[in-house]
Structure formats: C-alpha cells, structure tokens
Amino acid sequence: MKSFDRKIVLEDGREFYGFGFGSTNDRVLEIVFNTSMVGYQEVVSDPSYTDQMVVFTYPLIGNYGITDEDFECKNPSIGAICVYDYNDFPSNFRSTKTLSELLEENGIPGISGVDTRCLTRIIRDCGSMRVLITNANTDREKAVELIKSTPVPHDAVERVSCKKRWYSRTSNPKFNVVAVDCGIKLNIVRSLNKFGCNVTVVPYDTPADEIEFMKPDGVFLSNGPGDPQDVSPVINTVKKLKGRYPIFGICLGHQIISLAYGAKTYKLKFGHRGGNHPVKNLSTGKIEITSQNHSYAVDLSSLEETPLTATHINLLDKTVEGVECVGDRIFSVQYHPESAPGPQDSSYLFERFVEMMREAKENA
C-alpha cells in the first residue's frame, strides 16, 4: 500500500496526511472550501483563488481532465488544491491533459486522500485559516512556526492583473467597453463580446484619464483576489469616473464600487464559494441561483451614508449581493453572472449594462 508523502498543517497544529500530485512546492496559504459539484478547471484557473488552498467538498476530482477551451485565465495562480479522490485517468473526448499535469506546469501543489468532510467542517466552524502544504516528514512545530512567520500578502491583484492592455473583438460591435483587470475571468470577456461589446482589458492601475482617452461607452470592474481595501488605485479610478460613464462591477469590482462611495467592507468567517447560493433580487422578488467566490462582503449598514442602495441579498446569511446608484449609472453584484449556474438566471445583468450604454449614447 502506498504511504502518505504529503500533508497539510493548519495554523493551530492539526495535520492531514495525503498523497501529492501536481507540483511538490511547499506553500503557506489561506485554506478555503468550494462546494461546486463540477467546474474544477474553472476553479483552478480563477485568479480570485490566488494565495488560497481550495478544499473541494465534491469527492471526485480530475475525472474529466482539462480542456483547452474552458480556462478562466491564461496562467493559473491558485495556491493549491485538496481533494478526497483524485482521478489521473480522465474520460472525456475534449480532454487534452490531466489536472495533475496542469498543476505541475504551473507550480501548483495538490494533495489527495484527505478527509475533506472533516477539513471543511473545521473551516466552517473555526473560519478560514492559514496552512502549510508540505512533505509528510516535515516537523509539525517548525511548520506552525513557518506559518506564523510568513507575512500575509497584500499584492495579489498586482500579481494577477495584466501588465499591458489587450483586446477582445466581436463581430458587428455596438459598444466599446474598458475592463479594469483585477484578475478578470475570461468568460466575463466572452460574455461582453456576446452582448455586442468590443472589450479593451487594461491593468488594474490604469489612471482614469487614460481610460477616458480611450473614449469607452462603459467601464467594467472585474473580480479578483484579496482584500478590496488593498486595491486603492482602482478605488481612486472609480471615484474619478463615477457619473461619467455607465459602470458595472462583479465580485471584487462590487466591493471596490462600494468603497469608492464611502461604504465599508469586512471579511466573512469562511467566505462564499460554490455554485448554488440563492440570491434575492429586491426589485423583482425573484430568486437567482448564483456562483460565488469571495472572502469579503459589503457592510449593509454602511450603505446608509452613501448614495448606493442594496439591490440583491443573499438568502443564506443576508449579506449584500448587489448595489446601485441610478443617478450615476453604476451598479454591481457580488456573485458571478457569467458562470451560468442557473444557468441563465443572471444574464440580464449584462443586458442591463448594454442598455445603460445605449441610453448614454442616445443622450450624449
């Protein structure tokens, strides 16, 4: 019987042994869990998971391999993954490589054979915490000491954002959108293309005057990793552009818009990560089944001192899932409409953004 060769050490000293796959790097990370039953490739390639180890609650991972067309970014930056049962022999006619091969190519460690139910309950009860993924023979006390001495990174957006602008064109375009890249998922760009938008993706620290020079019909603020308060360049950009262009934000972009208007954000105990979160649209009363991936949320009470109003509420814990300022033609949601968990519950948000740009052009 194969013996354990890797382990996870939690910051409180608890250990979980397993079998390594992918890269064999040692890393200190934040541990979180994702409850999605499918979509592990999209999770692994989502830049919002930078510096995080993701525990998959669904037990079978790797069974349909990796497909070239399904990536959410070009260079996966997830910290590590932890699974119960890893399959290295995928059955899928679209598959081009295994999950382990993808992880190895990008220096991302993986561990299997772990009791993910127990680990998930620890995260749920104790909250997200820091961990070390390392060799099975690493001394526990030294591992805990390393976790405590490793500084928490605050430059995740800077690392995952593009370094220069790039373009995504569509046939018969009606609008030009500038998308601020804080760790943008490629399906967001594809969704904007689908709704008739040419998209110019720019680095997160692109100044407001440079965006204005591009003469956009609308501005999009993307998802991304880390604490929204660390992304002050984008917050300042929103302050300068609000009211001048239709603006739409998703996930981190939602939090950045709220901060730009003077609201506050806070860290959730264990975050929202999965494809089945029920969200209520307060204007229609309809319930949307949403895909989510975030550690931070907007403080509902702090919205009272701003021009923003809450538009959506999470039915599980009553956190803010959407805000808007009608006068400034700006709105945002905490969840991911491009992930299609409903599968079409939230596509109206892109339609709304397009309609705002159409009205702005007609009234110009």
pLDDT tens, residue by residue, 240-284:
999 999 999 999 999 999 999 999 999 999 999 999 999 999 999
Reported as a single tens digit per residue, the pLDDT across 24-34 is 999 999 999 99
Q: State residue 17 phi and psi, 5-degree precision.
A: -95, 150
What's domain 157-362's superfamily in CATH?
Answer: Class I glutamine amidotransferase (GATase) domain (3.40.50.880)
Which amino acid makes up residue 229?
Q
**Can you give the pTM of this predicted structure?**
0.96
pLDDT > 70? residue 83: yes
Q: Return mean pLDDT, the chain.
A: 96
Domain ranges of the chain: 6-153, 157-362
For residue 344, the model assigns a pLDDT of 76
End-to-end CA distance of the chain: 72
pLDDT > 70? residue 342: no
* Token output for 126: 């104790």
Q: Which CATH number fits domain 6-153: 3.40.50.880, 2.40.110.10, 3.50.30.20, 1.20.200.10?
A: 3.50.30.20
Q: Please tell me whether residue 279 adopts helix, strand or coil conformation.
A: strand
For residue 2, the model assigns a pLDDT of 78
For residue 346, the model assigns a pLDDT of 85
Q: What percent of the chain has pLDDT over 90?
A: 95
Residues 14 and 216: their CA atoms lie apart, in Å, by 52
Residues 2 and 331: their CA atoms lie apart, in Å, by 53
Q: What percent of the chain has pLDDT over 70?
A: 99
For residue 343, the model assigns a pLDDT of 67
Q: Please tell me whether residue 354 adopts helix, strand or coil conformation.
A: helix
Q: Please tell me whether residue 335 adopts helix, strand or coil conformation.
A: coil
For residue 325, the model assigns a pLDDT of 98
Cβ atoms within 10 A of the Cβ of 14, count? 16
Q: Is the peptide bond before 343 cis (omega within 30 degrees of 0)?
A: yes
Summarize the confidence of residues 152-166 as an average pLDDT: 97
Q: Where are the alpha helices (DSSP H) in the chain?
A: 40-44, 99-105, 116-126, 140-149, 156-160, 186-194, 208-213, 232-241, 252-260, 348-362
- 299: Cβ contacts below 8 Å, ≥ 6 apart: 263, 264, 265, 266, 320
* Token output for 63: 């069974």
Reported as a single tens digit per residue, the pLDDT across 101-155 is 999 999 999 999 999 999 999 999 999 999 999 999 999 999 999 999 999 999 9
Residue with the bigger pLDDT between 343 and 207: it is 207
CA 336 to chain centre: 8
Active site (catalytic) residues:
251, 336, 338
- 4 vs 21, 38, 108, 310, CA distance in Å? 12, 27, 19, 49
For residue 1, the model assigns a pLDDT of 63
